A and B are shown apart, each in its own frame.
Chain A
Amino acid sequence: MTAAIAAPGRGALHVFAYHLIGYRRTWWGTAFSSFLLPLIYLAGIGLGVGGYVDRGHQLGVDYLSFLAPGVLAATGLSIAIDESMYRVYSQFAWDRTYEGMLNTPLRIVDIVLGQLAFVVFRALVAVTVFLLVMAAFGTVHSGWAVGVLPTAMLLALACAAPTFAFTATQHTDSSFAVLTRFVVIPVQLFSGVFFPIAQLPAGVRVLAWLSPLWHGVEVCRSLTLGTPRWWPVLGHLGYLALWAAVGLVLAHRAFRRRLVV
């Protein structure tokens, strides 16, 4: 099984292309909302809340510059998870398109990798727009900031792959709302997006360390502030890569169970 993951064929490319065709119809709407969302965040919370926070001079940087890379990473996560729930579920349960794909030379690994590549691409489009808005707000302080794009892609993969695995085990769509409310939202609140996790009690801080989002936020923030330190960055990226790798294996196994046996 791992060998199959190591050697994806051209099939994954065809699956990626298939998802792009569907995206062609909706890309304008999603691009617009991925432009609007950072605008609202940066203008509303960044400038509004930031005005208060900056009076305390606790962060070492202005609040807007602190917040923006955090929300950028969180956007990568939320797109990755959104695209891995209903969209994946409907292809199992409602449209049954996976079944159609399996009647061709495509293999499970092609289906999983091709669609994950699409999810990562979706996240890339959104964070690219976000980065441009950030630049317009003067919150990009270094050329290193370009590095947030591959970082957000890795973060998206680290979140999407295990969610694919989860979705493949679901036989109703009722758990997705629960996942959003009790996993995605708390993770976004306690992963250092809005405030440094040093604020958290020690027990909760451990949860932040476990969350892939915190690692993504730390890297993105150090890059847009222009203060990356290499060993921590590599450590964070390594942790995300671990999530991605384990997620891929789990997703492959779950798809196999659902579709083949």
Chain B
Amino acid sequence: MRMIGCVSPPSAGSLHILGLDAATHGPAIRSRLGVVPQQDSLDVELSLAENLTVYARYFGIPRQVARDRAAELLKFVQLADRADSKVEPLSGGMKRRLTIARALVNEPDLVLLDEPTTGLDPQARHLVWERLYRLKQRGVTLVLTTHYMDEAEQLCDRLVVMDAGRIVAEGSPSQLIARYSSREVVELRFGLDDLAGPAGAELVKALEPLADRIEALPDRLLLYTDDGDAATAAVAARSIEPTSVLVRRSTLEDVFLHLTGRTLVD
């Protein structure tokens, strides 16, 4: 992210952003980017409006234009009523929205967002998503990193899955689901201690013909199938009685876990 933002030089190879060479045109590229860093870097001593106008000045934007844009952007992120209060007491979600407004102050062609909603409550996340979606509608290109698969599903036309610094899959959310998962997933729980052990193995064997793929986790079995209800009926027909059954649509999270594995990466 720091390389695309032209803060750090490319560690290897060549990098072109907006048609310019990142190694030689850093300031020129940065003048057309908006950056929402993972951690907010607002001045907590200044007011919301001042944070925006000061930032606009760094781009060489004239004072009056900066003031107008600050007012307009605060309205856009629903913080207009707080324009003159300090940043310090704002909630995490408000600070995040202010950071997004700040990233837009130079009317960028490309906005980089590094985990834009990490740590926000659901209301704040949905508001951020809705505003980002509006930006997308206006034709602004968004590049975002996230660990939330629902966020990627909401906002991305095209996404790449990275594992240990390498691209392991690429496509639209629905393409990826079609390619790496099934349409639906049936989650079965049995009240057994460890389904990933020998007891589970028997069950897996018995259920194998009913699904495209079965994954045994310690607490449940996942049946990947195109028709969850049919699979559930077939399970009942074999007089296998799970303690709970959940049929759901396949999500990007299933794709992500399938591609990158379930082991914790620290």
Contact = CB atoms under 8 A, between A and B. Distances in A.
B245 to A, nearest CB: 48
B7 A102 contact: yes
Interface residues of A, number: 25
B199 interface: no
B59 to A, nearest CB: 6
B187 interface: no
Given A18-B54, A260-B9, A261-B8, A105 B60 contact: yes
A103 B103 CA distance: 9
Interface stretch (A9-17, A189-197, A230-238): A9-17
B107 interface: no
A105 B32 CA distance: 9
B43 A104 contact: no
A95 B42 contact: yes
Contact of A100 (B42, B59, B60): B42
Interface in A195-248: none
A156 to B, nearest CB: 23
A259 interface: yes
A140 B59 CA distance: 45
B57 interface: yes
Contact of A99 (B41, B54, B102): B41
B39 interface: yes
Interface residues of B, number: 30
Contacts of A96: 37, 39-41
Contacts of A106: 27, 58
A17 B37 contact: no
Interface in B57-83: 57-60
Contact of B37 (A10, A18, A100, A105): A100
Contact of B54 (A21, A103, A261): A21
A22 B46 contact: yes
A105 B106 CA distance: 11
Contacts of A101: 58
Given A96-B41, A97-B43, A260 B7 contact: yes
B8 A21 contact: no
Contact of A104 (B9, B30, B46): B30
Best-buried of B41, B45, B55, B103 by chain A (most CB within 10 Å): B41
B50 A21 contact: yes
A107 interface: yes
Nearest to A107: B27
Contact of A103 (B9, B30, B42, B44): B30
A103 B37 contact: yes
Contacts of A55: none
Nearest to A18: B54
A259 B2 CA distance: 10
Interface in A77-126: 95-107
Given A18-B54, A104-B55, A99 B60 contact: no
B85 interface: no
Contacts of B9: 260-261
B141 interface: no
Interface of B: 5, 7-9, 26-28, 30-31, 33, 35, 37, 39-46, 50, 54-55, 57-60, 102-103, 106
In the complex, the 3 A-B pairs of residues with the closest C-beta atoms, listed nearest first = A100-B41, A104-B58, A103-B35
18 contacts: A11-B58, A15-B58, A25-B45, A95-B41, A96-B37, A99-B37, A99-B39, A99-B41, A100-B41, A103-B5, A103-B33, A103-B35, A104-B55, A105-B27, A105-B30, A105-B31, A105-B59, A260-B8
